[in-house]
Amino acid sequence: MSDLLKKLTLSVAALSISGAAFAGNGAVADEFKWMTFAVFGVIIAITMAITFWAARTTHTTSEFYAAGRSVSGIQNGWAIAGDYLSAASFLGIAGLISLYGYDGFMYSVGWLVAYITVLLVIAEPCRNIGKYTMGDILAFRNDPKKTKTVAALSTITVSTFYLTAQMVGGGVLIKTLIGIDYEISVIGVGILMLAYVVFGGMKATTWVQITKAVLLVMASLILVFMVWAPYGFSLPGYLGSVVADPDVQKQVAKLLGDKAATMTPEELGQRFLEPGLFLKNPIDQISLGLALVLGTAGMPHILMRFFTVPTAQAARTSVIWAMGIIGGFYVLTLFLGTGAAMLVGPDKIASVDAGGNMAGPLLAQYLGGGEQSLMGNFMLAFVAAVAFATIVAVVAGLVLAAASAMAHDIYVGVIRGDHATPNEQVVAARVASGIVGVIAITVGIMAKGQNVAHLVALAFAVAASSNLPAVFLTLYWKKCNTTGIIMGMIIGSLTAIGLVMISPNMTYPKAVIAGANKVLNGEPAVPAKEAAPAVERSSFMCELFALDGCVLAKPAQAATPEKPAKPGAAEKLAGLNAKLQPLEASLPTIADVTAKATAEADVAKLKKDIAAVEKAKAKAEADLKKVEGQTTSMMGLEKPFFLLKNPGLISIPLGFLMVILGSLFTRDKRAEDMWDELYVRQNTGINAEAASAH
Amino acid sequence: MSNPNVNWVAIDTNPKFQALHRKKTFFLWGLMVFSIIYYFLLPIGAAYYQDLFKIKVWGVVNVGILFALSEFVVAWTIAFVYSRKANAEFDAMAQDIINDVNNGRMK
């Protein structure tokens, strides 16, 4: 096996070098790309050495799935942080804060609070009852074959949603950072992650996650130190200069539109620290919050981490450490985000990536000395490499979770009826990891250019509506039984998926066409409006569904003056070019030095504006082409029927209700008989799976 | 520790185990309900009590920022309180029951 591993290391190294040849445009300038690849190479070498070492001690099933239950509480805490802090939270939240201020920070809170549920109700009982998978916990007192099948299907569904979002996000991210082709990034991430999982199992995955978490925390601490130190680590002093920054004030003015006209620059800056610039619908936020707080505890790759520690006490320690690291990290993102807004500027951040994902990397480049400096580019390279390690570590954890469901629950538990030999089990685990890995790469490539952002929220919603009610009620409710588990899991997950399919997350061709036409053809003039009183919504259901006869709530509106028509892209381009040509032609004739400099600056600005309009035009044209000939969404809808982006508010209570109803209306002798044993064991740890001795 | 012939019903009905069960249930549910309410105060406050969130209390730092930061402190405090209680009390009670089972006193 070690021979194979060496070959694989070589081919990955070759891939990262050949990547350089494919490199097009990215945030890293061409002459500094070698540095990024050098840092990538070092990180890949470290993780490969870990895998090589882990592979030598990974022979049994317990070693493959649970690292021999020999991971200490502190190590597991770091690994949980490494498993959980995805690129979306590392780059995405810093980006949201840099563009929208307070709302981005508020968004990060739920991701930490989620661990209270994990700590209080899930971690220790799961360690005491479980073996390798969520299916093991459910099968303890319910019908093993039925519950393992449903649990495995749910695990694979959740993991695939999350995995697809990670693969697509990772591919786009690496392309934006260093310009490697999307497909090559996806294949590179896939091969690396497969090497860790197939050869090193849980032990390699754990240590890759620990390495990544340490790198991530280090990188963030360095950046925050550099951002905050000039203010003597004073919070009001630092935030005071954030709100006084003209770039930040300009961004707020842009977000507020007409409302900004009557505000002073100080008010605009202060508005950056107040809620409401990004998150508009409080009910949607509560729905998302519910999915996060209850979904994290039902995420299979997080649950699986608790089987790697020797005791329930170590499971407790690991959540405490994870909460310290994850929470500390999110507090740091407040400084990363606002720092990027102040020093780099929201305009520039959004011009590289509209979602703001490049805020952290660009901040690193700025702090190191800027675009042209060696140090600036080294820091950008380092942050890019950490982002890459982040994607690989999260993906490895997800693949392991899906593979364990496939091999341990479905193959060993259901097909072989728990009669597989230890050797067969390990082979099955490795083969399943290979299959899931190949699926992840294929799906990642197929989903290129698709809108996958909602898949993360959907993964949490399914986990909260299907996995959590089942695990929670099995552990804490005496009457819970097989029928309830199956009903709850199936109806909970189908409701969550179904509601998202008819939600605003999907692509609605009519809206896309209208938006694109606005850019291309401009907008007609809007006549002056008289003041309108506030409108009250007709009923609460109208907040959730687009029902007939619904009136949506509207705040009172002041009278607005007539708005002139807005020109289309072609008209704008013609206007800009008409201005540019005479100006450019007059350049050589200007003798005065200062006048010439002003004229040159004007030319540069016009050229920048032209490029921006052309980019918007190209995007609108591409959008039109994408939806050509379509009038309805995938589900045959012209506009969303379900109005929230996150289904949790409906699907989570429904999941719980279905488990309860299914259990109350049927009787299951085994579930009743096993209750005493389950309850005593989850509280005392008697007969829990022991750590294997090394 | 492995003991295949444990009488689970006997342990479940034993007063020592019942005491552990009662203490844990009360404590865990209390913390859980408190943390969920405290968490949802943030989006509710940000949506419906914006005037309160906008009040500046420490330079430009407003109530909203302090409240969001307090969410972190509260989460860490809950983790700390729970782990202290569990380490000091629940673990000892569970160990006492395990010892009784191993010595054959709880059959």
Confidence band of B106 (pLDDT split at 50, 70, 90): low
The pLDDT value given to residue A84: 92
CA distance A608 to A612: 6
Confidence band of A694 (pLDDT split at 50, 70, 90): very low
> Where along chain A do its domains lie?
2-506+643-684, 507-524+536-552+566-639
> What is the rounded average pLDDT for all residues in chain A?
87
Picking from A105, A324, A676, the nearest residue to B68 by CB comes out as A105
Q: Are the C-beta atoms of residues A473 and A656 closer than 8 Å to each other?
A: yes
Class of domain A2-506+643-684: mainly alpha
Higher pLDDT: A280 or A247? It is: A247
The pLDDT value given to residue A538: 67
Which tokens in the block code for residue A660? 């309860």
Q: What one-letter code names the amino acid at A571? A: E
Query: Residue B2 above 50 pLDDT?
Result: no
The pLDDT value given to residue A213: 95
The pLDDT value given to residue A591: 80
Hey, are the CB atoms on B61 and A239 less than 8 Å from each other?
Answer: yes
Q: What is the distance in angstroms between the Cα of B105 and the nearest Cα belonging to chain A? A: 15
Partner residues linked to A566 by β-bridges: A523
Q: What is the distance in angstroms between the Cα of B80 and the nearest Cα belonging to chain A? A: 8
- pLDDT tens readout for residues A55-89: 998 888 889 999 989 899 999 999 999 999 987 77
The pLDDT value given to residue A470: 96
- pLDDT tens readout for residues B74-100: 999 999 999 999 999 999 999 989 888
CA distance B74 to A116: 10
Closest listed residue to residue A111, CA positions, set A470, A463, A460: A460
- pLDDT tens readout for residues B28-48: 999 999 999 999 999 999 989
Radius of gyration of chain B (CA): 22
Picking from B24, B46, B59, the nearest residue to A239 by CB comes out as B59
The pLDDT value given to residue A521: 84
Higher pLDDT: A619 or A557? It is: A619
Pick among A96, A103, A106, A277 to test the B interface (most B CBs inside 10 A): A106
Which tokens in the block code for residue A152? 């495995």
Cβ of residue B12 closer than 8 Å to a chain A Cβ: yes
Picking from A105, A273, A680, the nearest residue to B12 by CB comes out as A680
Query: Residue A25 above 90 pLDDT?
Result: no
DSSP state of B86: I
Closest listed residue to residue A674, CA positions, set A132, A140, A129: A140
Query: Residue A5 above 60 pLDDT?
Result: no
Confidence band of A23 (pLDDT split at 50, 70, 90): very low
Hey, are the CB atoms on A113 and B43 less than 8 Å from each other?
Answer: no
pTM: 0.89
Query: Residue A6 above 60 pLDDT?
Result: no
The pLDDT value given to residue B1: 40
The pLDDT value given to residue A207: 94
State the CB neighbour count (10 A cutoff) for residue A581.
11
Helix segments in A23-101, DSSP class H: 33-56, 61-66, 73-84, 87, 93-100
In our burial notation (b when 16+ CB lie closer than 10 A, e otherwise), range A139-159 reads bbbbbbbbbbbbbbbbbbbbb
Q: Look at the block and give the residue holding tokens 């952002």.
A: A453
Pick among A116, A271, A317 to test the B interface (most B CBs inside 10 A): A116
Q: Are the C-beta atoms of residues A158 and A459 closer than 8 Å to each other?
A: yes
The pLDDT value given to residue A178: 77
Higher pLDDT: A557 or A354? It is: A354
Which tokens in the block code for residue A506? 């999907």
Query: Residue A19 above 70 pLDDT?
Result: no
The pLDDT value given to residue A287: 92
Confidence band of A559 (pLDDT split at 50, 70, 90): confident
Query: Residue A9 above 60 pLDDT?
Result: no
Higher pLDDT: A313 or A507? It is: A313
Hey, are the CB atoms on B43 and A285 less than 8 Å from each other?
Answer: yes
Higher pLDDT: A656 or A188? It is: A656
Contacts B15 to A, Cβ<8 Å: none
Contacts A317 to B, Cβ<8 Å: 83
Confidence band of A497 (pLDDT split at 50, 70, 90): very high
Specify the 3-state DSSP secondary structure of B57.
strand
- pLDDT tens readout for residues A189-236: 899 899 999 999 999 999 999 999 999 999 999 999 999 999 999 999
Total residue count of chain B as it appears in this document: 107
Picking from A116, A289, A313, the nearest residue to B35 by CB comes out as A116
CA distance A336 to B91: 40
